Each structure stands twice: as C-alpha cells, then as structure tokens.
Amino acid sequence: FDPAHVLVGAIVPPAAKYRNGEERTVFYDQILQRTAALPGVRTAAIASVVPLQGGDSDMSLFVEGAPPGSPDNAPATWYRLVSAGYLDAFGIPLRRGRNFVPHEAEPVVMINETMARRHWPGQEALGRRIKFSDEGQWFRIVGIIGDVKQQGARIEARAQTLIPYWQLPEPGVAIVLKTHGEPEALTAPL
C-alpha cells in the first residue's frame, strides 16, 4: 500500500446515541460525505483497522462446498470493515473483480490473493461464497485485492477479508483521507 498523503483519525460515536448498527451506519455515511467534501481531499474512506495499526481482528471462516472438518471450514481470516474508497485511499490494487458499490444489499466481500490461493488453488475465487459462522449468512466474493503486509514488511501476508462497513457496522472505525497535498493541513478540519 502507499501511505503517501494519507491522514487517519479515529471515530467512536457515543454508544448512548448510536445504539445499533443502523444508527452507526447513518453516522458513518454522514462522516464520509462531510470529509469527502473538505478542500484538498481526494478520497475519504472508513476502515475498522488500517495497515500497520495493529489490533487485527479475525473470525472463523467457512467455505461453501468444503466438507465438514476440512481445513477450509473454521480456519480464521483477518477481516476489515471498509468503505468503497478504502483501496484508493491506500493505493491497494484490485487484482480481479470489482470494488464495493456503496450500500449494495447483497452480502459481498473482497479477499486478498493469499486467501484466494489458500482456499481455491488453481481455481477462480470470484463468485464463490464464504460465511463467518456455522449459522451465518453467505457472502459472495466480488473482488481479489493485492496482499498487504498488515503488520510490517517482515511479516508474511495472512488471509484477509474486506467486508462493507454497512453490513457489519462496528462501534468505532478509522476515517482515512487521501489528500492532494500535505495531510497535516486537514488535521483540524477532520
């Protein structure tokens, strides 16, 4: 990823006012709209965890069609809740498929190349489905992104899944601004 001209800030809406996912989604939508309109902002994005931040989140992974008890059922994947502008904000390449469409209703994800190779070696991962719990809903893979060494250059990339933030809104996120000029100039407006 390319960190040049990137400003990151934390947003934790008050739990007493934003009690559920729908209320948090509306709040995050407003933050994205307002920060994207700031002079000097090229792209505004949301992420639950940004590269090199630490605090990585993982969850179980179930691959459609994999037999129970196989290595493809209940391994972990690191996940990030992100907005459609996340890839552009960090310069992360989309290798195949497409990016998220804001507020698309179908449960969709993007995965990294490591995850695609691990679970579908020699096959196409696009269009396949995964879920995060035995009883959970299926998410369709719509994009394959380049690997990001989330914890530094010396640590190998791990299986990673990007989920649209509005499908599983968390109580706190990072706002990411890709700027035309020096990002420090946007610290006060952010």
Alpha-carbon separation of residue 117 from 92, 146, 149, 152, 163 (angstroms) = 18, 12, 16, 21, 19
Strand partners, 140: 108, 129
**Rounded Cα gap, residues 103 and 167, in angstroms:** 8
7: its two tokens: 């400003």
Q: What is this structure's pTM? A: 0.90
Within the chain, strands assigned E span 6-11, 41-47, 58-63, 73-82, 94-97, 108-112, 129-131, 139-145, 160-164, 173-179
Measured torsion, CA atoms of residues 156, 112, 169, 99, in degrees rounded to the nearest 10 = 150
Query: Residue 32's Cα: distance from chain center in Å?
Result: 15
Q: What is the pLDDT of residue 51?
A: 77
Mean per-residue pLDDT pooled into runs of 10, the chain (190 residues)? 84 91 94 96 93 72 80 77 94 96 93 94 96 92 90 72 93 93 91
| Phi, psi of 124, rounded to the nearest 5 degrees | -90, 125
